[in-house]
Amino acid sequence: MQTRATLFDDLPVICGFAKDADELYYAFPKAKYPLTADQILPSFEGRQGNTTVVFESRVVAFANYISVAQNESVTIGNVLVDPAFRGKGIGRFLIEHMEQTAIRNYKARFCRIPCFNRNTSGLLFYHALGYRPIDGEPRIDYQNIPVYLVHLVKDIKATV
């Protein structure tokens, strides 16, 4: 398993990672299911740290930084893992890589991750990685149903 900068040619593959409209909403709230390269392109071009995980020559995960505050924090977003590779440690590998890159490139001291209240597996995953809720905000989802966006945070330190 390795990480690399995401290539434009990776976008069609990444677009297939959301199994349904709910999963897509959790990762790309402004997109409409199914995700297309045209929808992901503004995020790809407008955000820093577009990162892809490659396993056995196959693109299997993606994330980027929603925001970067030099010498302070990053906010990780657009986290997607290929459904065929979930439960194999790839998500953990990706998030830990994003944390270490934030330390190395931006001297970040903590990471933030937004996660919707209905994304129970995401909340449990981030909790297992040491993220804790610190705040949140009400939102309206793609079906005009109220949801709550939970803001999670974790203090990060460089690993050897």
Per-residue pLDDT of the chain (160 residues; tens, 9 = 90+): 999 999 999 999 999 999 999 999 999 999 999 999 999 999 999 999 999 999 999 999 999 999 999 999 999 999 999 999 999 999 999 999 999 999 999 999 999 999 999 999 999 999 999 999 999 999 999 999 999 999 999 999 988 7
CATH number of 2-111: 3.40.630.30
pTM over 0.85: yes
Domain ranges of the chain: 2-111
Q: How far, in Å, CA of 38 to CA of 41, rounded?
A: 5
